[in-house]
Amino acid sequence: MAIQNATSTSSIDPNSGFCPKTGTYHSLRPLAPLPPPSAPLSVTDYIFSHLASHPPPATATALVDVSTSRGVAYPELIRRVRSLSSSLRSRLGLSRGDCALIISPNSLDIPVLYLSLFSIGVAVSPCNPSSTAPEILHLIQLSRPSIAFAMSKTASKVPSPPLGTVLIDSPEVESLMRVVVPAGDPDQIDVSQSDTAAILYSSGTTTGKVKAVALTHRNLTSMVAGSYAVRAARASTAVALCTVPYFHAFGFTYCVRSVAMGETLVCMGRFRMEEMGRAIERFRVSHTAVAPPVVIAMVKGGSVMEGYDFSSLEVVVCGGAPLPATVVARFKDRFPNVQLAQGYGLTESTGRAFGTVGPKESAVVGATGKLVPDCEAKIIDPDTGAFLPPCKVGELWVRGSSIMKGYVGDEQATRAIVDTEGWLRTGDLCYIDGQGFLFFVDRIKEIIKYKGYQVAPGELEHLLQSHPDVVDAAVAPYPDEEAGQIPMAFIVRRPGSAVDEPSIKAFVAQMVAPYKKIRHVMFIDSIPKNAAGKVLRRELSKLASLGGASKI
């Protein structure tokens, strides 16, 4: 029975989805029917079945490359996937249960490779091509791949796996996609929905140690089915540009979802703001997925994106980290006809657990949307363990068919984050309002404890980023013998600005309670962030320990 069926009971608030009897928030989205769990089905077969019953227009392009303008139509995409799937088994010796490490920037071939590997039961494990050889070795020790797919420039960093390393940018891959596969292939592999489809890498929610997140075919199918359930009818094919790396959970799920929805996925390799502007104009992009730093760059005065035609743009999907309200307001001023759709999710939840749908939801400032189909949530008091009603801040827990299988080879870490009832503890402080919108407050482990008071770095960062002389800002805890921890600000000044430490402190002090005041300031050239735009506070703490901050 789908989770949403519980919403038929009278005890559930029809606005927030909250049930006061159980303390559970239920999704109020349309139902997303899923195949029976026992049915053998890969996520690729699920997607292709849907494309067969809801075919894109005959003229629709599935994939297009920004640098070459080369396009792949949907019939050609399906043929390529079928051919590559056959070649991976017959020529390279891959079989169900294997794992493939993929080290590559975004390209036209990556979605084809993902779908092909899914279809034969081989787990896809993409990683950052800029990772060092020791970092890649650590990932290999976690996922234990049978084969690697890499670009020529990155192949040297990969210790040779049992079945070797295939160069994605070599003629060999193209030849593997041109094998003729007879109809009704007798060697078709039955893939279980509980099989691991992808192994993505996450720091988890309890420690900073890299973990290998196992996502099943059922998890990915649920993610796709949820997108089908909320899809609005449109007169033309959506054109989607994903600027987020496909190795990141956000980019990975967006890439798979875009093809599943019959959209045109515009593939851009190395990200540049100017290239993004040209791509939106040239390919008439309607939807684009970006990390928060890109949104910030889009609204800056004198932006490098000036002069491009954005009239085709309908939705900018932003995820990975929260956006300051000031940035959202500036975006709406500059792009009044474009929806800024934010979402909330983790690698462990197969991407989005909450998301905005449509212009009305996108207009709710500060919110990261509502529960996706087939998903439940709780807000738990971190001190007492009691569930909390709407508008009360606590730790967000989520449950549903998109929750990960677990951390590969780490049952202890899995048990620490997913309880016996399937609830995933996110480690994030949030609240859900009376209309079912999620508002992110901060990471529990990043909350600054000042003399017993809790200070959310995100709140101070949003204030600092509203200062006219601040380009970017981050806040991290600084050890203090008397207070325990004090808030320290790291500031990137506007070029030419002479803003100093006292003025920054005074700016914040006039808008917050005394215990939230900034006590240290350090001016730096850039804020260290990961690929998704999240602030790397550990790097800031290391920077602070090297000196350069003065206490008042």
pLDDT (tens digit per residue) in 467-512:
999 999 999 888 887 777 889 999 999 999 989 999 999 999 998 8
- CA proximity to 418, closest of 401, 402, 396, 403: 403
Would the pLDDT of 206 be above 60?
A: no
pLDDT for 422-480, tens place per residue?
999 999 999 999 999 999 988 787 778 787 677 888 889 989 989 999 999 999 888 88
DSSP element (H, E) containing 375: strand 375-380
Kindly give the interhelix angle for 249-260 and 109-119, rounded to the nearest 10 degrees: 80
pLDDT the model gives residue 184 = 61
The answer to whether residue 22 is domain-embedded is no
**What's the pLDDT band for 9 if we cut at 50, 70, 90?**
low
Q: Which residues pair with 474 in a beta bridge?
A: 490
Question: What CATH number should be reported for the domain holding residue 492?
Answer: 3.30.300.30
Do 119 and 232 fall into the same domain? yes
Phi-psi region of 412 (alpha: psi -120 to 50; beta: other; left: phi over 0): alpha
Once rounded to an integer, what is the mean pLDDT over residues 163-170? 93
Comparing 182 with 16, the larger pLDDT belongs to 16
Would the pLDDT of 351 be above 60?
A: yes
pLDDT the model gives residue 186 = 55
Do 124 and 227 fall into the same domain? yes
Structural domain ending residue among the three candidates 375, 404, 438: 438
Comparing 511 with 212, the larger pLDDT belongs to 212
Would the pLDDT of 7 be above 50?
A: no
The answer to whether residue 294 is domain-embedded is yes
- CA proximity to 100, closest of 154, 35, 146: 146
Quick one: CA torsion of 160, 162, 166, 172, rounded to 10 degrees? 140
Once rounded to an integer, what is the mean pLDDT over residues 106-132? 94
Do 291 and 434 fall into the same domain? yes
Best-predicted range by mean pLDDT among 3-12, 322-331, 414-423, 483-492? Answer: 414-423
* Distance, CA of 478 to CA of 489 (rounded, Å): 10
Would the pLDDT of 181 be above 90?
A: no
Asked if 443 and 534 touch (Cβ cutoff 8 Å), the reply is no
Cα–Cα distances in Å, from 73 out to 285, 309, 367? Answer: 17, 25, 37
pLDDT the model gives residue 178 = 84
Do 428 and 484 fall into the same domain? no
Structural domain ending residue among the three candidates 393, 414, 438: 438
Determine whether 411 is exposed, middle or buried from the number of CB atoms within 10 Å of its CB (0-12, 13-18, 19+).
exposed
Range of the domain at 456: 449-545
How many domains does the chain contain in total?
A: 2
Do 234 and 272 fall into the same domain? yes
If DSSP states are collapsed to H, E and C, what string results for 239-250? EEEECCCCCCHH
Do 412 and 521 fall into the same domain? no
Q: What is the mean pLDDT of the chain?
A: 89
pTM: 0.83
- CA proximity to 132, closest of 151, 157, 105, 149: 157
Do 458 and 318 fall into the same domain? no
Do 472 and 403 fall into the same domain? no
- At 234, is the secondary structure helix, strand, or coil? coil
pLDDT the model gives residue 504 = 95
Asked if 13 and 24 touch (Cβ cutoff 8 Å), the reply is no
Q: Which residues pair with 316 in a beta bridge?
A: 288, 340
**Tokens linked to 343:** 């979402």
- CA proximity to 322, closest of 530, 535, 538: 535
Would the pLDDT of 300 be above 90?
A: no
- According to DSSP, the β-strands at 438-443 and 470-480 are unpaired
Residue listed under structure tokens 């990471």:
443
Would the pLDDT of 6 be above 50?
A: no
Asked if 465 and 475 touch (Cβ cutoff 8 Å), the reply is no
Structural domain ending residue among the three candidates 390, 413, 438: 438
